[in-house]
Amino acid sequence: MLPDTQPSNDALLLEVRDLCTHVFTRRGVVKAVNGVSFQVRAGETLGLVGESGSGKTMTCLSILRLLPRGARIVSGEIWLQGTNLVTASEATVERVRGKQIGMVLQNALAALDPVFTIGTQVGEPLVMHQNMSWRAALRRVVELLRMVKVVAPELRLYSYPHELSGGMRQRVSSAAAIGCAPALLIADEPTTALDVTTQRQYLDLLMELQQATGMAIMFVTHDISLVGNMCDQLAVFYGGLLVEYGPRQQVLSQPSHPYTAALLQSIPQLGEPRERLPSIAGEPPDLGRLPAGCPFHPRCDAALDVCRTGEPPPVFTLAQGRQVRCWLREQDHDRSAAGSL
Amino acid sequence: MRGYIARRVLQGIVTIWLVTLGVFSVLRLTGDPVSYMLPPDASKEDRARLIALYGFNDPLWKQYVVFNNNLLHGRFGPSLRWDSRDALEVFLSRLPATLALTGAAMSFSIIVGIVLGAVAATRPDSLFDRVAKGAAILGQSMPVFWVGILLILLFTVYLEWLPSAGGLDRLGLKGLILPAFTLGCLFVAAHMRIVRSSMLDVLDADYIKMVRAKGMPRRTVIWKHALKNASIPIFTLFAVNFAQLISGAVVTETIFAWPGVGRLLVDSVFVRDYPVAQTVVFFAASFIIVINIVVDIAYAWLDPRVRIAG
Amino acid sequence: MARSTTPAPELVLPQPVPAHKTGLVAWGRSVFRGAPVFSLCFLTLAVACAVCAPLLAPYDPIQTNRTQTLVPPSLSAHLLGTDHLGRDILSRLIYGARISVTVGFLAVFVSGTVGTLIAVVSGVVRGWADTVLMRLTDAFLALPFLMVAVLVVSLLGPSLVNVVLVIGLLRWMTYARTIRSEVLRLTEMDFVRLARAAGARRRRLIVQHILPNIVNTLLVLGTLEVGSAVITEASLSFLGLGVPRPLPSWGTMLAEAQTYVFTAWWLPVFPGIAITLLVMASNLIGDWLRDRLDPTRRQL
């Protein structure tokens, strides 16, 4: 169906094809990622949106092969500039991590090693990947810290993580991730642990960094209101599947999947009179026991009979590069555009 | 950091004082000290001399004052057996042998324990791991002296590789191997278990994921980051084990005829040389307290978060 | 907007349990879930030996026999051989179990009682009593245990009672610390506060509310400590300071074996195996109890 090699498209940085990552627990197999495909182009920002447990974090961890014990990539391909990261050796992947793809984790205090100084932790990848001496690396660390707006960076070199505030730790984490100027930065819920003001500052910082370095960003969040002006493309996750994918503006203004629509409706708008906050009825699916058919059908108003049985709906390609996994959109499926993704 | 050190040292001094109180009472309150210290056929003059020397007929509080005074001046009394040499002198002459033994045993068990534990943690549930865990349980259940006897059976009797009795002076380092190994075996199991458990926790942590995300090779992840974090709980166990180490040394020295302070204690107790016995116990307790303080301070240095909580 | 159109969940009534799943077997299975079978069997065996020694032992453990010294193990007469005085090893092992088991359980009883007493006083009375008792605990913890035991037993004279007392009075600290934190935790809980608000006096509080809740911890600690008590008794006997001869303690047997290790391998091997198995059994059962009674507690 899909070609085996990556199509030559210069702007294409990362391509994920039919990724399936399963977690093998004592109680059974959890299909954390169940057939996800998307692309990231150089310099663009892709937003990955969905509830906790929808598969967005596991997708990111799969890309860098940082899966926890018991989790494994079962099938699929992840192409990064000619290399399939799924089948590559551990040594190859180690060279990609930090150097071509950087990652920022959610809980910044937990993400920094408590017994080493900031200088050591941010400088480590520089020494490792770029063969710098420690002295040169530390100088560069000061520059990086300045870039992420940490005050008095020379002093901060010798601080420990627990001596910094939450916002500062997040920025230090980011400095460590972008140290070697990676082409792609994966930011996994970087603002969840921050208060609203710090959130805003951090997002502005991310944008500035992107402007300065031209890197692509994969921005993972469960809060769809954050993707606002940031993202170029949007990927909506549900139940381990990518249910909608397309340019941000269009997905937000004209969602084609019922889940996306429901998400958007549940964002409270300041100033509007409202008696009750709307929410989506029901609960997110247990990935260990997915219902037959489309994972969203128990909560979907417009579910058809075909939605409740068999396999989940396949990817339908719509106009303007949008994709959706919903039987309701079958007739909009543009067959000529399919297969080129 | 300095405040923490000062506080810890002060606590240690109080504890040492309590120990001296215990040492003082143990002899005087458990029966007739004079009968204990002298053979049953001692003459009246000997008894009178002993009573005069130690002031056993004086009121208790006066004895305690004299006792403390002597202690502070380093006067531990004359040994009743070793030709009236000072008890302290006898003790100090045997101390190096014990230090050598316990030092070797502890180093051996720390290194082997860390390596085995770290390797087992990186291969959880593998054959290596399961064998290691089983061996650990076995190792912690075997009494020290039995291990020693079995090793003698194997290495001295059957294989005739290593000597089984003597000390450093007579046998050199070769004589240290069996006793140190015996004593160390006891702890390898405990250390391995705690390193393994601690490493497993650390390896699951987010910051290790972050270190890997920066592209650090496996060996750096394990031996630089994971181990340093995992070593923090290891230290508390080392401190607790020190008391056990000294207890184990008593038995080990007896089996291998090692001329250290453990055997000195047993020998002197059998010949009723109370001053020497008292000296050994006092110093052993003080040493344990000092080690505890040192470990607490090292812990604070290793884990910067402790200094504030102190 | 998706309105709540999901149907109300069906009521699922419990299925009637088939007959063979109720009753004694089911109860037994639930209580002993995941138990270390071998350890429990061995412990039972040891206790049986201790209690029924005269019935089980084939020979008299103290009777010397000059003609049968140092006989190797054989299936015909002496299953585990004889020692340098012609005494049957197997019988001595069985009688030795009596000593080890007695000392083990009694010593744990003593230290458990003392430790609990101190912990409860410390945790309920608090204030300066707590500080003093905790400093005392630190001091005792700093003692080189075996050395002090050696010293004290030599002063008091070797006997079973003295050994039990010495071990019991030198090992209460673990209980004191652990139970004290349990007590502190319990007194902060609401049901204790409620009782106090209702006017319950301290003694009633302790007996009715606190003690029942610490039984579990005590049980786990006690089981684990039995092993340590057994080893200490063996060590003391090994050094000649435990139970007096000719009582056949396993430790004494090992001490006597030392001289003959070059000629009679069965002398040291069997007593050592006995000690190891008993200690291992106590450790494994203790671990199992700890997991069973408090599954949230991490295991080292």
Looking at CA atoms only, how far is residue B203 from chain A in angstroms? 10
Task: Measure the CA–CA gap between A322 and B245, rounded to whole angstroms.
Answer: 70
State the pLDDT at residue A302: 78
Residue C3 to residue A301, Cβ atoms within 8 A: yes
Q: Does position A113 have pLDDT exceeding 80, yes or no? A: yes
Residue range A18-37: average pLDDT? 86
State the pLDDT at residue B170: 65
CB C183, CB C262: distance < 8 Å: no
Residue range C191-208: average pLDDT? 70
Q: Which residue of C has its CA nearest to B190?
A: C300
Task: Please report whether residue B5 resides in a domain.
Answer: no
Q: Mean pLDDT check: name the lowest of A157-171, B181-195, B199-213, C64-78.
A: C64-78
Task: Please report whether residue C174 resides in a domain.
Answer: yes
pTM (global) more than 0.90: no
Task: Please report whether residue B31 resides in a domain.
Answer: no
Q: Is A264 on the interface with C (CB under 8 A)?
A: no
Q: Does position C21 have pLDDT exceeding 80, yes or no? A: no
Task: Measure the CA–CA gap between A54 and A65, rounded to whole angstroms.
Answer: 18
Looking at CA atoms only, how far is residue B214 from chain C in angstroms? 31
Residue range B145-149: average pLDDT? 87
Looking at CA atoms only, how far is residue B206 from chain A in angstroms? 5
Q: Does position B166 have pLDDT exceeding 50, yes or no? A: yes
Q: Which residue of B has its CA nearest to C225?
A: B141
State the pLDDT at residue A184: 92
**Phi and psi dihedrals of C188, rounded to 5?**
-85, -10
Q: Is A262 on the interface with C (CB under 8 A)?
A: yes
| Interface test with chain A among B214, B218, B225, B301, by most A beta carbons within 10 Å | B214
Residue found under tokens 């429990």 = C40
Looking at CA atoms only, how far is residue B62 from chain C in angstroms? 23
Q: Does position A8 have pLDDT exceeding 80, yes or no? A: no
Q: What is the mean pLDDT of chain A?
A: 83
Looking at CA atoms only, how far is residue B152 from chain C in angstroms? 8
State the pLDDT at residue A46: 92
Q: Is B127 on the interface with A (CB under 8 A)?
A: no
Q: Is C241 on the interface with B (CB under 8 A)?
A: yes
> Residue C2 — very low, low, confident or very high, per pLDDT cuts 50/70/90?
very low
Q: Which of A55-64, B230-239, C61-70 has the highest mean pLDDT?
A: A55-64
Q: Which residues of B touch C258 (CB under 8 A)?
A: 149, 255
Q: Is C161 on the interface with B (CB under 8 A)?
A: no
Task: Please report whether residue C126 resides in a domain.
Answer: yes
| Cα radius of gyration (chain A) | 21
Q: Mean pLDDT check: name the lowest of A136-150, B203-217, B232-246, C212-226.
A: B232-246
Range of the domain at B289: 87-309
* Nearest C-alpha neighbor of C39 from the set C291, C276, C226, C282: C282
Q: Which residue of A has its CA nearest to B301?
A: A115
Residue found under tokens 């058809």 = A304
CB A34, CB A285: distance < 8 Å: no
Task: Please report whether residue C63 resides in a domain.
Answer: no
Burial class (CB in 10 A: 0-12, 13-18, 19+), B46: middle
> Residue B309 — very low, low, confident or very high, per pLDDT cuts 50/70/90?
very low
Q: Is B229 on the interface with A (CB under 8 A)?
A: yes
Q: What CATH code is carried by the domain that includes residue C289?
A: 1.10.3720.10
Q: Which residue of A has its CA nearest to B217?
A: A94
| Cα radius of gyration (chain C) | 25
Percent of chain A scoring above 70 in pLDDT = 91
> Residue A341 — very low, low, confident or very high, per pLDDT cuts 50/70/90?
very low
Chains that touch C (3 or more CB pairs under 8 A): A, B
Task: Please report whether residue B49 resides in a domain.
Answer: no
Q: Mean pLDDT check: name the lowest of A16-30, A176-190, B110-124, C191-205.
A: C191-205
Nearest to C279 among B31, B141, B250 (CB): B141
Task: Please report whether residue B103 resides in a domain.
Answer: yes
Nearest to C1 among A278, A282, A298 (CB): A278
Task: Please report whether residue B26 resides in a domain.
Answer: no
State the pLDDT at residue C114: 92
Nearest to A128 among B216, B228, B305 (CB): B216
Residue A95 to residue B215, Cβ atoms within 8 A: yes
8-state DSSP, B211: H
Query: How many domains, in total, are found in chain B?
Result: 1
Residue range A248-252: average pLDDT? 86
State the pLDDT at residue A141: 92
Q: Is A291 on the interface with C (CB under 8 A)?
A: no
Residue range C190-214: average pLDDT? 71
Task: Measure the CA–CA gap between A187 and A210, rounded to whole angstroms.
Answer: 12
Q: Which residues of B touch C261 (CB under 8 A)?
A: 149, 152-153, 157
State the pLDDT at residue B79: 67
Range of the domain at C184: 37-56+77-297
State the pLDDT at residue B31: 62
Residue A96 to residue B215, Cβ atoms within 8 A: yes
Q: Which residue of A has its CA nearest to B210?
A: A111
State the pLDDT at residue B83: 62
Residue range B264-283: average pLDDT? 82
Task: Measure the CA–CA gap between B296 and B239, rounded to whole angstroms.
Answer: 8
Q: Is A139 on the interface with C (CB under 8 A)?
A: no
Task: Please report whether residue B138 resides in a domain.
Answer: yes
Residue B210 to residue A160, Cβ atoms within 8 A: no
Q: Does position A269 have pLDDT exceeding 60, yes or no? A: yes
Q: What is the mean pLDDT of chain B?
A: 79
Residue B209 to residue A111, Cβ atoms within 8 A: yes
- Helix, strand, or coil (residue A104): strand
Task: Please report whether residue C61 resides in a domain.
Answer: no
CA angle at A28 for the pair A26 and A34, rounded to the nearest 5°: 130
Chains that touch A (3 or more CB pairs under 8 A): B, C
> Residue A323 — very low, low, confident or very high, per pLDDT cuts 50/70/90?
confident
Residue range B205-210: average pLDDT? 86
Query: How many domains, in total, are found in chain C?
Result: 1
> Residue C42 — very low, low, confident or very high, per pLDDT cuts 50/70/90?
confident
Residue A103 to residue B211, Cβ atoms within 8 A: no
Looking at CA atoms only, how far is residue C1 from chain A in angstroms? 6
Q: Is B236 on the interface with C (CB under 8 A)?
A: no
DSSP labels, chain C: -----SPPPPP-PPPPPPGGGSSHHHHHHHHTTT--HHHHHHHHHHHHHHHSHHHH-SS-SS---GGGTTPPP-SSS-TT-B-TTS-BHHHHHHHHHHHHHHHHHHHHHHHHHHHHHHHHHHHHH-HHHHHHHHHHHHHHHTS-HHHHHHHHHHHH-S-HHHHHHHHHHHSHHHHHHHHHHHHHHHHTSHHHHHHHHTT--HHHIIIIIIHHHHHHHHHHHHHHHHHHHHHHHHHHHHTT-SSPTTS--HHHHHHHHGGGTTT-THHHHHHHHHHHHHHHHHHHHHHHHHHHH-TTS---
Helix axes B261-270, B227-255, angle to 10 degrees: 40
Residue range B42-59: average pLDDT? 72
CB B222, CB B122: distance < 8 Å: yes
Tell how strand A184-188 and strand A101-104 pair up.
parallel
Q: What CATH code is carried by the domain that includes residue B97?
A: 1.10.3720.10
Q: What is the mean pLDDT of chain C?
A: 79
Q: Does position C300 have pLDDT exceeding 50, yes or no? A: no
State the pLDDT at residue A1: 31
Residue B140 to residue C142, Cβ atoms within 8 A: no
Task: Please report whether residue C24 resides in a domain.
Answer: no
State the pLDDT at residue B44: 76
**B–C: how many Cβ contacts below 8 A?**
142
Task: Please report whether residue C31 resides in a domain.
Answer: no
Residue B228 to residue A99, Cβ atoms within 8 A: no
* Interface list for B 151-190 with C (CB within 8 A): 152-153, 157
Residue C231 to residue B143, Cβ atoms within 8 A: yes
Burial class (CB in 10 A: 0-12, 13-18, 19+), B164: buried
CA angle at C7 for the pair C4 and C11, rounded to the nearest 5°: 135
ipTM for the predicted complex: 0.79
Residue C5 to residue A281, Cβ atoms within 8 A: yes
State the pLDDT at residue A263: 82
Q: Does position A4 have pLDDT exceeding 50, yes or no? A: no
Task: Please report whether residue B303 resides in a domain.
Answer: yes
**Phi and psi dihedrals of B83, rounded to 5?**
50, 45
Residue range B65-82: average pLDDT? 70
Task: Please report whether residue C12 resides in a domain.
Answer: no
Task: Please report whether residue C64 resides in a domain.
Answer: no
* Token code pair at residue A65: 């092969």
* Token code pair at residue A229: 């002006």
